Amino acid sequence: MVRDGVVLADAAEPESRSHAKSLPGLVARALAEAGVELGGLDALAVSIGPGSFTGLRIGLGWAKGVAFAARIPLVTVPTLEALAWAADAAAGEQVCAALDARKGEVYAALFAATAAGPRRLSEDLALRPVDLAARLERPCVLVGDAGSVYGDVLGARATIRPFATHHPRGGIVARLGWQRLLAGAAANPGEVEPVYVRPPEAELVRFGSR
């Protein structure tokens, strides 16, 4: 929950196994902490991906439904960009935001840490950990659960931030969404789709069966 760029409330549950069950409760908790009702929101920011296919569909579906019902703008925020803001990197360092994509791959994007925050250096990618490691330039800070899964490959080229303490935060998404809203980047909820980077498993299976 953000007002004029200031985070008023932030609720997280990194270990949740059921996004559909935990999301409404987390939103209610943040609203209560900030003392704001759902109808009092001016806009809604949502993390757009890449990430878990199921998590993205649930999160975006909920956000689109609320935006439609409340008739408020919807602002999308790239997941890896929000993650890069959680890296606590010093100006001049490279930031690698990387999430485990399963099947021996990671979702990753590179950023340059500046005094004004992370500046994007690459698009969102799906690639093997060894190929990502080859792109890392010291000094580099890696943030995301790919560090814990592939630390043996990525740890030699970057300082790995613990995912337990450096994970995507709702407050960061809300603040980046607020900035995008001011820049006129609100989206039509009916046209917003998740950013998967690679095709969903169901699509891969369907194409492979032809």
User: Which residue type, as a one-letter code, is found at position 6?
Assistant: V
Q: Are 177 and 121 in contact (CB under 8 A)?
A: no
Residue 143, sorted as left (phi over 0), alpha (psi -120 to 50) or beta, turns out to be: beta
Total count of domains within the chain: 2
Would residue 126 count as lying in a domain? yes
- Specify the CATH number for the domain of residue 103: 3.30.420.40
Predicted structure pTM score: 0.88
Count CA atoms closer than 13 A to 32's CA, side-chain side.
7
In this structure, what token pair is assigned to residue 150? 């592939």
Q: What is the pLDDT along the chain (210 residues), one digit of tens a residue?
A: 899 999 998 887 765 556 677 888 888 888 899 998 888 899 999 999 999 888 899 989 999 998 998 899 999 999 999 999 999 999 999 999 999 999 999 999 999 999 999 999 999 999 999 999 999 999 999 999 999 999 999 999 999 999 989 988 899 999 999 999 999 999 888 889 999 998 765 454 454 544
The residue segments making up the domain with residue 184 are: 2-79+168-198
Residue 4, sorted as left (phi over 0), alpha (psi -120 to 50) or beta, turns out to be: left
Parallel, antiparallel or unpaired: strands 94-102 and 140-143: parallel
- The reply to whether 29 and 97 lie within a common domain is no
């943030």: which residue's tokens? 143
- The reply to whether 35 and 69 lie within a common domain is yes
In this structure, what token pair is assigned to residue 6? 């200031």
Q: What is the DSSP letter of 153?
A: H
Residues 172, 155: Cα–Cα separation, whole Å: 25
Would residue 136 count as lying in a domain? yes
Would residue 210 count as lying in a domain? no
